[in-house]
């Protein structure tokens, strides 16, 4: 994320077309306190050259109580600086803590792809049961699935690319976004 450099690049990429994108950013665990979350969001808004972030995520669980971070998210929503909030890289126990504080968590973003399917045992069913979307990151396995020997023949059979097969797998799962 280059200490905010990625947000600067995103701002350049979406200049003049903010209304056409759904903008997601994250607060680092080291900034997860109430004041830290508010300040981090303000910095992100400045780098992104926008007045609102569509989805603001807590990047990892931190030593800060999740209730304090959620309180900051709610304040940012009330102030019109974020539309939705969620988390990233949370397991079932972490998610239980989140919904105990506030069930309005919009999403949990985790690594999920054809090579990394461990969440199918517990986290994915937990979220599906609660109709809480799961956002898959690294849907192409960091590039490993682009020419994977098990996917290439399936892609050929269907007249599509291997990445299309990898994405179709994820999108066929209820509640999963890629």
Candidates 1, 56, 112, 137; catalytic one: 1
Distance CA 115, CA 170 (A): 11
Residues 37, 22, 52: CA angle, nearest 5 degrees: 45
Degrees, nearest 5: CA angle 140-177-68: 110
Catalytic, 112? Answer no
Pairwise CA distance, residues 124 & 176, whole Å: 9
Question: With contact defined as beta carbons under 8 Å apart, do 81 and 41 qualify?
Answer: yes
- Give the catalytic positions in this structure: 1
């Amino acid at each position: 994320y280059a200490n905010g450099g990625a947000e600067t690049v995103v701002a350049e990429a979406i200049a003049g077309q903010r209304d056409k994108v759904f903008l997601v950013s994250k607060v680092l665990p080291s900034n997860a306190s109430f004041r830290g979350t508010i300040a981090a969001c303000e910095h992100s808004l400045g780098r992104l050259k926008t007045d609102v972030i569509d989805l603001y995520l807590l990047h990892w669980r931190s030593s800060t109580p999740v209730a304090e971070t959620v309180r900051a998210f709610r304040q940012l929503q009330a102030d019109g600086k974020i539309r939705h909030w969620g988390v990233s890289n949370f397991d079932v126990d972490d998610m239980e803590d989140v919904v105990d504080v506030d069930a309005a968590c919009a999403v949990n973003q985790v690594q999920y792809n054809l090579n990394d399917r461990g969440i199918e045992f517990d986290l994915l069913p937990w979220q599906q049961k609660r109709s809480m979307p799961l956002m898959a990151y690294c849907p192409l396995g960091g590039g490993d699935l682009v020419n994977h020997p098990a996917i290439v023949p399936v892609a050929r059979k269907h007249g599509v690319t291997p990445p299309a097969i990898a994405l179709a797998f994820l999108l066929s799962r209820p509640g999963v976004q890629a």
